[in-house]
């Protein structure tokens, strides 16, 4: 028995269009869009009367797949949470980037919350945390040559 790879990361969102636009701006590409419902989906996710809309976003090389999911039904009755970097559970996705300064400047111009200024970690990386729509936390990491 072995694990071959991570297939995808799923992010539940209320505003599918806004979340999709955020990831497109970062350079991901739409790989697929679909809607799902029915008894089989209910059994898979352990809920009743499930209806979803989904967008699969990936890098051109096909190695990264993020699945944005909007549950039409059933809806989550809690408000969007704004976790911090130390909140327990799965907390952020890290993207290896080029020209972190330009990316952060562009995100800042669009109103994205920037956790801190770009920081250099030893002689290996420039790092920055940002918060996208609906509380999604991304770490941007540029390897220093």
CATH number, residue 110: 3.30.720.110
- The confidence score (pLDDT) of residue 72 equals 94
Q: Is 97 inside any structural domain?
A: yes
Structural domain boundaries enclosing 24: 9-73
Alpha helices in the chain (DSSP H): 16-25, 39-45, 100-109
Do 62 and 101 have their domain in common? Answer: no
Do 132 and 103 have their domain in common? Answer: yes
- The confidence score (pLDDT) of residue 84 equals 83
- The confidence score (pLDDT) of residue 3 equals 75
For the chain, the domain total comes to 2
32 phi and psi angles, rounded to 5 deg: -165, 155
Do 36 and 64 have their domain in common? Answer: yes
Do 101 and 69 have their domain in common? Answer: no
- What is the tens place of the pLDDT at every residue in 92-108? 999 999 999 999 999 99
Do 52 and 96 have their domain in common? Answer: no
- The confidence score (pLDDT) of residue 59 equals 86
- The two three-digit tokens of residue 90, written as one number: 């799965």
Do 68 and 15 have their domain in common? Answer: yes
Q: Is 120 inside any structural domain?
A: yes
- The confidence score (pLDDT) of residue 29 equals 95
Do 25 and 56 have their domain in common? Answer: yes
CATH of the domain at 60: 3.10.180.10
Q: Is 86 inside any structural domain?
A: no
SS3 29: strand
Render each residue's pLDDT in the chain as its tens digit; 145 residues.
877 778 889 999 999 999 999 999 999 999 999 999 999 999 989 999 999 999 999 988 877 789 999 999 998 878 777 888 888 888 899 999 999 999 999 999 999 999 889 999 999 999 999 999 988 999 999 999 8
Q: Is 128 inside any structural domain?
A: yes
Residue pair 143/26 in contact by the 8 Å Cβ criterion: no
């Amino acid at each position: 028995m072995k694990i071959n790879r991570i297939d995808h990361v799923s992010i539940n969102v209320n505003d599918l269009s806004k979340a999709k636009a955020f990831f497109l701006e970062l350079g991901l590409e739409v790989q697929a869009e679909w809607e799902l419902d029915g008894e089989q989906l209910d059994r898979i996710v352990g809920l009743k009367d499930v209806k979803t809309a989904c967008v699969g976003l990936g890098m051109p090389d096909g190695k990264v797949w993020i699945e944005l999911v909007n549950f039409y039904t059933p809806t989550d009755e809690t408000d969007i949470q704004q976790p911090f970097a130390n909140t327990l559970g799965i907390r952020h996705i890290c993207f290896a980037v080029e020209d972190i300064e330009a990316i952060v400047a562009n995100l800042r111009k669009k109103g994205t919350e920037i956790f801190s200024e770009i920081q250099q970690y030893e002689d290996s990386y420039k790092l920055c945390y940002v918060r996208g729509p609906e509380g999604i936390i991304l770490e941007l990491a540029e390897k220093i040559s």
